[in-house]
Structure formats: C-alpha cells, structure tokens
C-alpha cells in the first residue's frame, strides 16, 4: 500500500516524519494519515513525494515491490554504509557536483566569450 511504501522510503533515507510533512507543507498529523493508510494524498502531493525521493509515481501508486532507484548498485552500496560513511559519501558527491558545475560553467563562459569576440569582429 502507498503508506507502507512512503514509510519505507522515509526510514531508508533517515528522514523524520515531521521534516517530510514540513517539506510537503502539511501538519505531521495529516502526513501520518498517509503513512498509516488512513487517507490518500492527492496527485500533487504524490508527485512531490516522488520528486523528493527520486522514485516514479508508478512505483508509489502501483503494486511494485522495490523502487527502481533502490535497485541501482550505487544506491545499494550507499545503503550498506554506516552514518559516518553516508556523511562522507554525501560530502564527496557534493564535491563532485560542484566540480561538474564549475566545469560546465567554465565551458559556458568560454563559449560566451567566443561568441562575444565574433560579434565584435563583425
């Protein structure tokens, strides 16, 4: 059921119910009704949950055992890490993303300067 999947995702990502409720702009008691299968969220909330955890709407609302994200070998390795290892992995991923952003930013600046130079010569 939806609530069971939601609780599984939240616990696997070490997210507090109150924090996820806050992200979804709702009270903790409203959010708890979803996890306890008392009520069902609307499509917009389901979409926001899918984006937050990086899972498809199809997985959230249909009877599929394991989200495709958890099948990824990198995610499986990450899930085996202790808290310290997860923190180190997150710091390293942030470093890689910043490096990647800077490289693409450098490339964009070079292209912009090249196009400006071409405009100035014409």
DSSP annotation string for 7-76: HHHHHHTT--HHHHHHHTTS-HHHHHHHHTTSS---HHHHHHHHHHHT--HHHHHS--SS-HHHHSHHHH
The whole-number pLDDT of residue 30 equals 93
pLDDT band at residue 114 under the 50/70/90 scheme: low
The whole-number pLDDT of residue 67 equals 55
Which among 3-17, 72-86, 108-122 has the top mean pLDDT?
A: 3-17
pLDDT band at residue 73 under the 50/70/90 scheme: confident
**Higher model confidence: residue 105 or residue 87?**
87
Which range, of 14-18, 33-37, 57-61, averages the lowest pLDDT? Answer: 57-61
Catalogue the long-range contacts made by 8-16 (C-beta closer than 8 Å, 24 or more residues apart). 9/49, 9/53, 9/55, 9/67, 10/35, 12/70, 12/79, 13/53
């Amino acid at each position: 059921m939806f609530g069971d999947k939601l609780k599984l995702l939240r616990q696997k990502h070490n997210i507090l119910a109150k924090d996820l409720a806050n992200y979804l702009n709702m009270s903790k008691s409203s959010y708890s009704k979803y996890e306890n299968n008392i009520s069902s969220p609307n499509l917009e909330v389901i979409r926001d949950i899918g984006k937050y955890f990086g899972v498809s709407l199809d997985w959230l609302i249909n009877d599929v055992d394991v989200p495709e994200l958890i099948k990824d070998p990198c995610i499986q390795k990450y899930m085996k890490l202790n808290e310290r290892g997860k923190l180190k992995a997150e710091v390293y991923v942030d470093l890689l993303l910043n490096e990647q952003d800077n490289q693409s930013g450098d490339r964009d600046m070079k292209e912009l300067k090249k196009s400006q130079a071409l405009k100035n010569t014409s």
